[in-house]
Amino acid sequence: MINDNIQIGKVEYDSDMQSADLDLIKLNRVEFATGLIRMLVLSAIGIFVFFFSVPINGESKIVFAVIYNSLINLLGNYAYWVLLAIIFANLIFHVKYKYYKNTSNESALSKVYDNDTSIHTVLYAVGAFYTLLYALKVNVPGFEGFEIITGTSTGGSVFPPIVLGVLGIIIVGAVFMPLLLNYGVLEIIGVLLEPLMRPIFKVPGKAALDATASFVSSSSLGVLITNRLWKMNVYTEKEMVTIMTGFSAVSIGFAYLVIETAGLSEVFLKVYAISFVLAFIIAPIMVRIPPISKKKDVFFNGHLQTPEERIEETRYNITTIPTGFQRAVKRAFIAKSLMTNLKLSLKDGVLIIPQVLTMLSAIGVSALILAEYTPVFTWIGYVFQPILNLLQIPDAARIAASIPIGIAEMFLPVLLIQNDVEILSIEARAFVTIVSMVQIIFFSETATVMLATKSPIKVREIVICFIERTLIALPLAAIAIHLFF
């Protein structure tokens, strides 16, 4: 068992202690220098990997994306056999630990499946079936499987870009996330942004890191970072759900693809800026209404957050920057060794990979089948048509179905209007694009990662959050297009 405590003099400190408690630590010169070097070097590597771009084949790409894409490319089509092995192993372990569990011999792996239900059995079996068909299609010449499952608009839109992408994100993220989360940079960000984030969004200043990671890397990474910080007792249950459902936006690169597909590449900056602003307008509204407002102010370890912890450091003063810097150095000094944090992070990553990938396969493909092969979202779209007419959105009848379909996959709304780009007004296309980008929650990726990582949010609550975000976004997006288009 790894000891979480670091001894300084005669006093032992928990390496995961709360930020304010770091002020109690007194470091001598050697200890301060050690903490400073660890903070500067390790945090700098983490920041470089997750937030800096490098030129690749004439394009600027985030270092993190380059690394995980290189990993997937290295595997080639064998990646699908690896994926199939992981997903079938998940089904086998689920059956073993759910239906044939030996309580006298529990392991870390068995605990992963503790809360699984019979619904998970169905989803895991469906995910394994979908993955088998797609792996055979990719690797066996002449095998096509069923178009409804393996077609470009269903399995082809889930497996290569999302499932394999998330596999790379979790593995590479497990290696580099400790550098970003454990060695002080969070303390500086937290102190600097607490006065802004706490009163407006009711979350710590550290949440800005999650939001930024989403915007520059991927929405899945944002969810994974948030889940990791929740388990490190940085966020309460309410804060964690607020951040996951409000700040886990798609990356800038994917946003460009969405905007370009809608025929709006010439106004990319305008559309993206509007979406960015609206996302941060919607977040403080969401945190003040159910289901998020009903979530508990309790940390992962069971500690109930006190009013003092919520209102601490909500104003800037002359000590703000020095306090953040001192805490960062102390956090870096008392942190576990890099190798220890790396082992713990990789262990966590390996334990969640099977369920995350299986759920993405099952729910992602099923959601797209529902969207592509049934009129369900068209019917739901009829509900939104009068609202769009009331908001004076052009081409309301043509774009109404694109509003609810975003819950399946955030790319679907613009794909639905792609063939009508030439005849739809720029206002209508901008409206669809903006709404889809601020809905944030979609079952082909973010919502499924939330569920697979055992985050404290239920399917019903995810759907309610999506509906609420959509209803709030509609008038805001309407105001934006009437003002700027």
Q: Bridge-partner residues for 6, per DSSP? A: 13
Question: According to the model, what pLDDT value does residue 2 have?
Answer: 44
Residue 238 contacts residue 256 (beta carbons within 8 Å): no
Determine the average pLDDT of the residues in 298-325.
81
Report the distance separating Cα 161 and Cα 146, nearest Å. 20
Q: Which residues pair with 11 in a beta bridge?
A: 8
How far is 474 from 81, CA to CA, in rounded Å? 43
Task: Tell me the per-residue pLDDT of 217-268, one tens digit each, with 9 for 90 and over.
Answer: 678 888 888 998 898 888 999 999 999 999 887 777 678 778 888 889 888 8
- DSSP assignment letter at 22: G
From CA 51, how far away is CA 274, in angstroms rounded? 22
Q: Name the strand (E) or helix (H) holding 166.
A: helix 164-181
SS3 state at 424:
coil
Render pLDDT for 370-400 as a digit per residue (tens, 0 to 9).
888 999 988 999 999 999 999 999 999 999 9
Whether the pLDDT of residue 55 is over 90: the answer is: no
**Whole-angstrom Cα distance, residue 465 to residue 292?**
8
* Rg of the chain over all Cα atoms, to the nearest angstrom: 23
CB 80 within 8 A of CB 159: yes
pLDDT tens-place string over residues 195-228: 888 888 999 888 887 777 777 667 888 888 899 8
Distance in angstroms between the alpha carbons of the first and the last residue of the chain? 60
Residue 93 confidence (pLDDT) above 50: yes
What are the Cα distances from residue 302, in Å, to 153, 236, 244, 299? 44, 9, 20, 5
Please tell me the distance from the alpha carbon of residue 449 to that of residue 121, in angstroms, as a whole number: 17
| pLDDT at residue number 473 | 96
Q: What is the C-alpha to C-alpha distance for residues 415 and 213, in angstroms, rounded to an integer?
A: 26
Tokens of 394: 């052009």
Q: How far is CA 460 from CA 142, 188, 227, 268, in A?
A: 41, 36, 19, 34
The pLDDT of residue 24: 82
Exposed/middle/buried for 2, CB within 10 Å: 0-12, 13-18, 19+?
exposed
> What DSSP designation does 55 have?
E
In the DSSP assignment, the letter for residue 203 is S
Distance (Å, whole) CA 207 – CA 203: 7
Pull the structure tokens for residue 101. 């569990």
